[in-house]
Structure 1
């Protein structure tokens, strides 16, 4: 029997509903320090339309590059924690299970593609249009809603991820995966660049993920349940 596809929203490294509520509620109550970088002394004329177009192009190109790198590693039969990392994005894969089958590797690679697309959204505000290629069902709806509710909130790397288990149903109807997010060094800023991280956000969180086959043969994440919001069994 296929497992329940319930989506759990609290605590993800992505700012899900509970995290958004936490940040928005605590922001007016804390003394925020500026986290913005010093800009150049002279600034060229700003063209909002051109800037938005450039950002969208850069986001699409970066997401495509990440997916291509993972796909190339998978095709070559060499999938390592390093090959699943994206240094530019600040997404670091710490470790993955050993001796995975070809089917498990495929599920792992497709999950990482999903995780990197969502991390790009939370850390840069870009790439929402890439979600349908990596997510479906309740997960897609939930993340799209959360992404549109960011209002300038940003999570800042490094994010460190450990995959502790990957399994694929014998009939190929679903895959399951356990993931640990180390967000001890992740910080949060508001739309003005003020640090509103708060003491409750930095730490470890563990998730159980369910994926289903997509129309193009890739695995799509359909549910993500929080197992623990303060520790990981792998830690």
Structure 2
């Protein structure tokens, strides 16, 4: 089973999510909202995150089967940069689980224990792959109270996602076809790059994608 990131299974292990400083965001979910780019990524930021406007359309990847439905409105430049990096992480992990591609470059979008978990879970898939589509709504981009990063609150729609074994046979477990609440913690490296360092999920089907 896949675990430890945007995978087809529950998370492995227990994780404590950093407290959110909700006042720092002041952003509400807005379907199709355009977040102001405001500024380009920090010097040395990973090319995986890219630059330019952060919109549901620009952060989606139709070819991959990954659709961003909504993002918060009125993000400041740092929040925008963090959210761009988060979507780079999301697309990279789904590319790994859907196509078994990009494990060697995962360190550009993930770090720490989360990166270790991704590598561990990729090594034990036994050829299993997930199949799109997946959809996601991000509701909040908030600075943590300790000032060491940002937390992304989101809801992932996996209700139409399936899985196949190494021979291509469908082996989908209906229990994975859920709406999955997510909180991902983003930290900034010494090179200025924001990477996902922690991700936890809540009770299935307690969120919505809209």
Normalising by the smaller structure, the TM-score range is: 0.7 to 0.9
- 2:51 is matched with 72
Structure 2, unaligned stretches of length 5 or more? Answer: 13-45
Q: Look up the SS of the partner of 2:171 in the other structure.
A: coil
Size of the aligned set, in residue pairs, is 176
Residues 1:178 and 2:153 are matched in the alignment: yes
2: distance between equivalents of 1:106 and 1:72? 8
Rg comparison, structure with higher value: 1
Q: 1:219 to 1:172 in 2, by over 3 A?
A: farther
Residues 1:193 and 2:168 are matched in the alignment: yes
* Aligned mate of 1:229, from 198, 204, 210: 204
1:1-235 equivalence runs, <5 A? 13-15=6-8, 71-73=50-52, 78-169=53-144, 173-232=148-207
TM-score, reference length from structure 2: 0.76
1: distance between equivalents of 2:146 and 2:69? 30
Mean Cα deviation higher: 213-222 or 186-195: 213-222
Shift of 1:110: 0.3
2: distance between equivalents of 1:177 and 1:69? 18
Q: Look up the SS of the partner of 2:185 in the other structure.
A: strand
Q: Which has the higher helix share?
A: 1
Q: Which has the higher strand share?
A: 2
CA contact (8 A) 1:168 1:175 kept: yes
2: distance between equivalents of 1:223 and 1:11? 9
TM-score, reference length from structure 1: 0.68
Structure 1, unaligned stretches of length 5 or more? Answer: 1-8, 20-66
Shift of 1:185: 1.0
Shift of 1:16: 5.0
1: distance between equivalents of 2:102 and 2:127? 14
C-alpha RMSD of matched pairs (Å): 2.4
CA contact (8 A) 1:70 1:84 kept: no
Shift of 1:172: 5.4
1: distance between equivalents of 2:196 and 2:154? 13
CA contact (8 A) 1:114 1:221 kept: yes
Shift of 1:198: 2.0
1: distance between equivalents of 2:10 and 2:208? 24
2: distance between equivalents of 1:220 and 1:70? 9
CA contact (8 A) 1:209 1:225 kept: yes
Q: Which runs of 4+ in 1 moved over 6 A?
A: none
